[in-house]
Amino acid sequence: MSQGRSGHAFYVVYLGEVRIVPTAKSINNTFDYMGMLVGLNRLPGERNATYRGRLADVHVNQAGAHYTGLINGITRELGLAQYDAITITSSLDYPRIEVGDTYINIWTSTSEYETIDIYLRDSTVYTLDDLVVAINAISGYTATLAVGGSEFTPAAQLLVRDSLIWVNDELLSSTHRNLLENKPVTPGSIKFSRQGSTIFATRQLTEAVVTEAGDYYVDYTEGLIVSYTLSAIDVTCRYSYSEFPITLRASPVKVMEFNSPTLRENIFYQVLGPDDLTTMDGLPKSEAVDYINELLAAKGMLWGR
Amino acid sequence: MASVDHKSWITQRLANRLPQWSDARRQGHSVFQQFVNPIGKSLEDLFKFVIDENNNNYLMKANLDLLDIAYVVRLPENYSFTRDQNDLSGDQYAVPRVVGELDGVDIEVSITSANTIEDFYYASLPTRVTDTGTYATVIPIIDDTILDNLDSATIISLPVDENGDTICLRLVITISGCENFIDTSRRMPSSFVTIDGTTFTGATDTETVYINYNGVFLTHKIWKTVTSVQYYGLQPSDSGQIRIDAFHFNMARDVDKYALVVDMDTEKLLYHKVLDHSFNASEPSYSIHQHMVVQANSLSALYNGTDTLVDVKEIELGWDNSGTFTNVQLVDIAVQPFTGRIFGLDATHLYIFDPYDSQMDYTGMKERTSGASMIIDTDFPDSLRGETITFDSVWRSPTKRIYKNRWTVKRPDGTRFRLAVDGTEIAYGNEAWIYNNTYTELVFGPFTTLGGEDINKQSFSLELTQRGTWQIMLEVVFVDGTTETDILPVQAHYKTALARLALPVGLQNPTGLAFDADQKLWLVRGSGNIAHKLSLATDNMLINFKDKIVYLHEEYDIVTVYPTDDWID
């Protein structure tokens, strides 16, 4: 490597200037050490401020081996973010909305619902904007794009969610009128613990006829329980309620079960089975072909084997 | 990273270990303090280092300006740097000209003076200010509100940027008009403000901010939404006020959490503030950066201060205009986290100052007689150009009979003059000895006025017409023939900007400056209070000559490295 002064052999003098595109090189600092503690590495070219945001997110959107945990973990690890997509309000007494992997069910009454398919690119509802229009067309529901939502985002980015939430044991106080913490309570969903079996024995349809021991009345829309007998302090109840208005969250990362019938119906053409009664998966649609190609690109394997 | 020329606050702290009566402790210019100052500066660096490194262990306190990415250019194998032919070690290389191209504009990249990582990333100063294009309208989250009315006060959302995204920030709480912050029975701060809301992670959270003086407090957490603000213990609640802002624009004080000011008796927190100071009628009014200090009985957090402001130290600000000190009038300042550097704004430029006092010029101080019988005393060792200081003689050994004495003043520019006993200036060429009573008068001392009346000391006043160090010299000849000399340096403080950067044309005439939670600089301008996010770029590089690698501080589209010319000695 001796050049110049020593004079032996030969050396090349480069006369022209050099034009080079610089490459970013990450250098470990205290944030990377903190990242090691929580198992979150810096992304290539990521600056401290962004990395700090992801490190702080570890304790808020916790990762784990369940649906939410997988979404949280993968979204964060890829440097993406979950966001509020759509806010839905309802004028119905008992509204309910259920986001599945490829569909949204919207209850028009306590027993009937309409299904909006949000998965296929060629269906009427593909973007969040389409979904807002579709939900607004259902009477009793109003949807608006939330702050984080973009109108052209695929509606399939919505995370699985059910507005119906079960409360497993809410303690009643020893009064005649107990107001539950949540409303509206799903009609018929209230069950009392064993200690309340004599206090809440006969459900009456109006408050006026709660006239003797064991009679009680439930105002489902207000979440109010009225009993003739004074409730005991150890009585709990179990009920479900619908969380409304609801803001649906979305993430660019979606976790779907490949064996989900609704997913398979969407990505495979359905053909009549050998019994001529039930359908089964036929040829893959373009969406399924995308997945297959993606998997093949990541790992050389033979599809179907 | 302390600059070479400043007096460290540690020096006075070390001197405070000496007895109260000792000159070494009482005189900032004592031989002891001059001797100990280099050690003080090293300890100051260590003190800051310990705090910074401790903060770096916590996610939300760690320094975001830590070196995270360097942009690398690997030169081809056949590229060679010219080497110094006279240097036998063979590792003196000529630095190539490097130009980074960004959006079609060529930017010269310079090498740092020491070619070390420290210089490359931490000690280097920004060279360019650009507009990131991000902006937001900034209004107070809670405007000035009497504490009693806080419950009904409207809480405004945090500012949103041009895309509608909320800018998450550390909130700025300003408390004014309150009293009695400390519970004297428990010696604890008993007043605090709590904030509820969601932080930048989206998590619901609460933060308690302790309030121990009227002033400005920053939250530690970075907030996205604020749902409620409560106060506890602050009084009087019918006249005390609270205000919550998103940005630290035009606040009364900026707190430098690291640097402490230490004086003879107590240790104090250092504050920075910008105020107009009128020098005299013939000169325009210039802005002055002040160290506003809060009295504190100790460094303990349990009892750290009241709102009494004492010992205001003013420093004249300017920049080096091709060798000429040119004053600046700043509209606002902001203290950069971790570096402690003071960023200031005028209509067209951004200025960067170091946070240290200007160093006194101690040249000639070796003439002082240690333990002199007659010394000079003043209450104004730290002063400002245009101010008039007073000083007088202190006769400490009445048994030593004084024959004559004389006063000489050396201006910062080196010119000298003498003083007559009535304070009139006498040209330096004159001897100007003042002859005294040769008897010892224990009440008045040996001094007389020009008219022959007895006086107990010689007192003078002097207008500091120049910035820099004034040296006042007192020479005394005793009846026994011995002589003594005392020299008192007085500093007309000033500070020259480390850097002066032009603001982007569209962002001129700003009104405020602040750092956000990501340690990025924002300025506010215009009647609509639009805050603009700035980007500070440092166009410098670090070169590994052996391996032919150029590391760049900034990202460029393409970089041109020119061949090095022949070595020039």
Residues of A in contact with B515 (CB under 8 A): none
Task: Give the residue carrying structure tokens 């041109």.
Answer: B560
Residues of B in contact with A5 (CB under 8 A): 83, 85, 90
Assigned superfamily of B365-492? Immunoglobulins (2.60.40.10)
A9, pLDDT greater than 50: no
B278, pLDDT greater than 60: no
B299, pLDDT greater than 50: no
pLDDT of residue B315: 77
In a domain, A20, yes or no: no
Q: Which two tokens stand for residue B460?
A: 């003078």
- Nearest C-alpha in B relative to A32: B68
Question: Same domain for A145 and A247?
Answer: yes
pLDDT of residue A28: 93
Element (H, E) at A55: helix A48-57
Rounded to the nearest angstrom, the minimum Cα separation between A40 and chain B is 13
* Mutation for B interface: A33, A34, A36, A48, most B CBs within 10 A: A48
Interface contact flag, B563 A17, Cβ < 8 Å:
yes
Residues of B in contact with A75 (CB under 8 A): none
pLDDT of residue B202: 87
Question: Same domain for A223 and A117?
Answer: no
Question: Same domain for A126 and A148?
Answer: yes
In a domain, A14, yes or no: no
In a domain, A12, yes or no: no
In a domain, A21, yes or no: no
Task: Please state the domain count of chain A.
Answer: 4
Give the angle B203-B205-B209 at the CA atoms, nearest 5°.
Answer: 145
Question: Same domain for A184 and A36?
Answer: no
pLDDT of residue B288: 40
User: Does any CB of chain B come closer than 8 Å to the CB of residue A45?
Assistant: yes
A82, pLDDT greater than 50: yes
pLDDT band at B437 (very low <50, low <70, confident <90, very high): low
pLDDT of residue B183: 66
State mean pLDDT over B220-247.
92
Helix axis angle, A48-57 to A30-38, nearest 10°: 20
pLDDT band at B260 (very low <50, low <70, confident <90, very high): low
Which residues, 6 or more positions from B353, have their beta carbon under 8 angstroms from its beta carbon?
B289, B317, B341, B342, B343, B344, B495, B497, B498
In a domain, A10, yes or no: no
Q: Which two tokens stand for residue B17?
A: 């270990």
- Relative to beta strand B454-455, strand B447-448 is antiparallel
pLDDT band at B317 (very low <50, low <70, confident <90, very high): confident
In a domain, A294, yes or no: yes
State mean pLDDT over A116-134.
89
pLDDT of residue B300: 18
* Under 8 Å between Cβ of A254 and A287: no
Question: Same domain for A189 and A58?
Answer: no
Question: Same domain for A85 and A158?
Answer: yes
* Under 8 Å between Cβ of B533 and B163: no
Element (H, E) at B34: helix B31-55
* Percentage, residues of chain B above pLDDT 90: 40
Element (H, E) at B11: helix B9-15
pLDDT of residue B304: 23
* Percentage, residues of chain A above pLDDT 70: 93
Domain that holds residue A182: 167-241
Highest average pLDDT, of B20-29, B348-357, B471-480, comes from: B471-480
pLDDT of residue B363: 84
B457, pLDDT greater than 90: no
B282, pLDDT greater than 70: no
Q: Which two tokens stand for residue B464?
A: 């500091």
pLDDT of residue B561: 92
A222 vs B4, higher pLDDT: A222
Question: Same domain for A248 and A139?
Answer: yes
pLDDT of residue B90: 62
In a domain, A8, yes or no: no
* Percentage, residues of chain B above pLDDT 70: 83
How many angstroms separate the CA atoms of A97 and B327, rounded? 67
Interface contact flag, A11 B73, Cβ < 8 Å:
no
B228, pLDDT greater than 90: yes
Q: How much is the mean pLDDT over chain B?
A: 82
Question: Same domain for A236 and A270?
Answer: no
A86, pLDDT greater than 60: yes
B285, pLDDT greater than 50: no
Question: Same domain for A148 and A274?
Answer: no
Q: Name beta bridge partners: B110.
A: B540
Residue-wise pLDDT tens digits, B130-145: 999 999 999 999 999 9
- Nearest C-alpha in B relative to A15: B563
pLDDT band at B289 (very low <50, low <70, confident <90, very high): very low
Residue B179 main-chain phi, psi, to 5 deg: -135, 165
- Nearest C-alpha in A relative to B58: A34
Residue-wise pLDDT tens digits, B22-77: 888 878 888 898 899 999 889 888 888 888 899 899 998 899 999 999 999 999 88
Residue-wise pLDDT tens digits, A200-227: 999 999 989 989 888 999 999 899 999 9
pLDDT of residue A133: 93
Which residues, 6 or more positions from B242, have their beta carbon under 8 angstroms from its beta carbon?
B142, B144, B145, B147, B150, B173, B174, B175, B193, B229, B231, B234
- Nearest C-alpha in A relative to B556: A22
Residue-wise pLDDT tens digits, B554-568: 999 999 998 877 655
Q: Spell out the long-range contacts of A4-7 with Cβ–Cβ below 8 A and sequence spacing 24 or more.
A: A4/B80, A4/B83, A4/B85, A5/B83, A5/B85, A5/B90
Question: Same domain for A85 and A56?
Answer: no
Q: Which two tokens stand for residue A8?
A: 């032996």
DSSP state of A62: -
Tell me whether residue B171 is exposed, middle or buried, using C-beta atoms within 10 angstroms of its C-beta: 0 to 12, 13 to 18, 19 or more. Answer: buried
Question: Same domain for A144 and A248?
Answer: yes
Interface contact flag, A5 B90, Cβ < 8 Å:
yes
User: Does any CB of chain B come closer than 8 Å to the CB of residue A25?
Assistant: yes
Neighbours of B303 (CB within 10 A): 16
List chain B domain ranges.
1-62, 76-124+538-569, 129-134+265-358+493-535, 141-245, 365-492
pLDDT of residue B291: 36
How many angstroms separate the CA atoms of A290 and A121, rounded? 12
Of A3, A5, A47, which has the smallest distance from its Cβ to B68's Cβ? A47
Interface contact flag, B563 A147, Cβ < 8 Å:
no
Cis peptide before B236 (omega within 30 of 0): yes
Residues of B in contact with A25 (CB under 8 A): 69-72, 551
Question: Same domain for A68 and A91?
Answer: no
In a domain, A1, yes or no: no
Q: Which two tokens stand for residue B131?
A: 């507009």
